[in-house]
Amino acid sequence: MPSPCRLRAAAVTVTALLLTCSVAGCGGDAQDEDLTAQELSWKDCPAPSQAEGGGSAPSPLPDGDGWQCATMQAPLDWDDPEGDTIGIALIRARSSGDESRRIGSLIFNFGGPGGSGVSTLPAFGDEYAALRTRYDLVSFDPRGVGRSAGVRCENDRQLDAYFQQDGTPDDAAERTALLAHTKDFNAACEKNSARMLPHVRTTDAARDMDLMRQVLGDDRLYYFGISYGTELGGVYAHLFPRHVGRAVFDAVVDPTQDAEQSSLGQARGFQLALGNFAAHCTSGTQDCPVGDTAQDVENRIADLLRTLDRKPLPGIFPRLLTQSAATNGIAQALYSQDFWEYLTEGLEQAYSGDGKVLMLLSDLMNGRSENGEYSNITAANVSINCADDKPRHSTAQVQEKLPRFRAASPVFGDFLAWSLVGCTDWPVPGAADHPDVGAPGSAPILVVGNTGDPATPYEGARKMVDALGRGVGVELTYKGQGHGAYGSKNTCVQSAVNGYLLDGKVPAAGTVCS
């Protein structure tokens, strides 16, 4: 699976989207009649734009069918649905099964926030072959992302400097520098994207999805949300509970937490995943090249990061592997157990004075291509988070909170604490402390939590079930590693998810897969 949720070592909030909205306050089911009647012009997909991550046009599916792309028009401002519009980029693979058994379109959001669904879905489309037998597989670039009126902030050269900055200031001078970098980045977002910044909240994206549902010809929304996509799905269910068809939330964001609580939870989650990696490395029949015991592995990583804070290593010329970049790279590798071998390799090289592998992992986290160009995932991530998160934190407040974050994670605590100042100078006010995902009257939503998930800790699944309301959320537990469960290819998880989406079979609440 991709890495839908992002840990940022720089001063950018890494929490999931947090907002609240009542149905009446957000306009409920009201849509502009002309937009719901629009017909999409599906064509062969071009290569992803650089804002979407670049690369080649998507390859045909295993059965030879190609991917199709289109653009849906949506209101720029949902409070003025007859005003200016923006284009929402879509991608689909038509159902491979008998048309008489086709259910509708299954819409995916892979998280971020800020990830391009148009570039992500083809990369993992074969994993959803079973679901394609009864659905068109559909994804999209949410507003502000990729080709959907993508937000622009700093240029590639400026972003290189942005990600080299010290994300864990130790004194007044370093704190001043961090805040200056953050203020410059936020000012660039306002300069280049002021028109979009007030309109990238999750409520806006949820309303786009309901328009999408209608334009695609479905009476109800069939949905697969991963990581931040669970937050988006919960907000959709709150706004349009009676439009929910079959929905699955995987790698579940805790909707009850504010930005601080979410960052603190991620600190614990990534530290847990790091401990699991260390235990795995030292429990095999072969020697672990990065430590003798699990505690030794963790201690050596913490020592490496402290050393990099004083003296960075050569990375990918001309850039250096800083403490920030190394922490980003380590976090990226913890999203999937498949990446643990690269983390071992990167650490082994770093201990020998070579920072290339950890920097490559960091670049993957930040959306940087080998040619030095960035996607717009950072700009979109910051813009959406800051539009949604109401709290604005001062340096004094962060310093007060540092002991709790350090206790939660000696490796990631400082970075996640200082990320809280990322929205301090943001030009648009945040919507709320946390979202309202209560969805009385909704069809059942399958909520899948992974006990070893670093980015969306397992406890969030139960909180989402409770917040959705009685009779809506159905919890399934996967005892595994990495971010998310379905992409692990665990047959128990996939059988439960496929059984619900394809045949409407709701698994028993509390089902456990291992």
DSSP code of 374? Answer: B
Q: Return d(Cα 347, Cα 304) in angstroms, integer.
A: 9
Kindly tell me the number of DSSP H helices and DSSP E strands found in the chain: 17, 12
Query: Which neighbouring-strand residues pair with 347?
Result: none
> Is there a contact between 248 and 224 (Cβ–Cβ < 8 Å)?
yes
244-250 and 221-226 as β-strands: parallel, antiparallel, unpaired?
parallel
Q: Return d(Cα 352, Cα 297) in angstroms, integer.
A: 15
483 is catalytic: yes
The CA-CA-CA angle for residues 127, 128, 130, to 5°, reads: 115
Q: Return d(Cα 31, Cα 75) in angstroms, integer.
A: 9
Q: Two tokens at 460?
A: 């969030």
- Within 10 Å of residue 133's Cβ, how many Cβ atoms? 16
Which residue of the set 136, 254, 453, 488 is catalytic?
453
Which residue of the set 227, 262, 324, 362 is catalytic?
227
Spatial neighbors of 79 by CB under 8 A, at least 6 apart, are 27
Site of tokens 């507003």: 143
Q: How far is CA 302 from the centre of its chain?
A: 26
Q: Please state the three-class secondary structure of 110-145 as a single string.
A: CCECCCCHHHHHHHHHHHHHHHHCCEEEEEECCCCC
Report the run of H or E that residue 513 belongs to, with start and end. strand 511-513
Q: Return d(Cα 104, Cα 95) in angstroms, integer.
A: 9
Which residue of the set 181, 199, 243, 483 is catalytic?
483
Active site residues: 227, 453, 483
